[in-house]
Amino acid sequence: MLPHRPLPKPLVCVVDDDEMVRTSLHMLLEVLDMRVSTYASGAAFLDDPFAQDCDVLILDVRMPGLSGLQVQQLLNERHSEVPILFISGHGDIPMAVRAMRAGALDFLQKPFNDQVLIDWIHSAIARREAARRHAAEAAEFRGRLESLTTREREVLDAVMAGKANKVIAADFGISLKTIEQHRGRVMAKLGVRKVADVFRHMQLLEGPASGSSPGDSTAAPGSAH
């Protein structure tokens, strides 16, 4: 397995026009050893170049200027994958459903339970970090794959098709020993020991399986109070 690199402390962004909410969430999250950035408006968040590093976004629904749903729409247009937790003091279920359909992971009504919020953030961050590790591992494996010669790639394709070394040697019209040497170099360049490892890395190149988003196990909108 390719080595993992340490990740920085997760960054949680809080967008809420209520200063008391921003302050209380900032204090709560800092105690949990997270980096926190707070914004009084959606525009301030969207205009901050550092906000693109946000790991989790806690977003108020109703705010002056851009609403939370408008911020969500603009993030979707930017192809942002940041997990969004909507918070609202109004308990607007239709709005919650709309937000969830647009990709939000949950919708909590104020005043919400701190532990519910903390659990949700930890879950979202864990999944996001795993996705980033997979992406980094896939990028590194892609580079290793591109380092193969044309012949080595042909041998790899034949091996992944389930062909035995003797069959590959016959197909290519070369000796069994040469095929074994090619195969050994391929495995060394890819940094793997087994063909099963190659298949696993190939799956990473194809991206995460569907249904693996952080919101898979979240409660229904408005269910956490």
- pLDDT at residue 136 in the model: 86
Note the CATH number of domain 11-132: 3.40.50.2300
Asked whether residue 39 carries a pLDDT value surpassing 70, the answer given is yes
Asked whether residue 27 carries a pLDDT value surpassing 50, the answer given is yes
- What's the mean pLDDT in 177-191? 93
- The reply to whether the predicted model has a pTM over 0.85 is no
Distance (Å, rounded) from C-alpha 110 to C-alpha 225?
Answer: 7
- What's the mean pLDDT in 37-41? 96
Distance (Å, rounded) from C-alpha 94 to C-alpha 65?
Answer: 21
Domain ranges of the chain: 11-132, 147-205
For residue 215, the cross-strand partners are none
| pLDDT tens by residue, 90-131 | 666 666 666 666 656 667 777 878 898 899 899 888 888 887
Asked whether residue 171 carries a pLDDT value surpassing 80, the answer given is yes
Note the CATH number of domain 147-205: 1.10.10.10
- What's the mean pLDDT in 188-195? 91
Asked whether residue 32 carries a pLDDT value surpassing 90, the answer given is no
Sheet containing 35-39: order of strands: 35-39, 11-15, 56-60, 84-88, 106-109
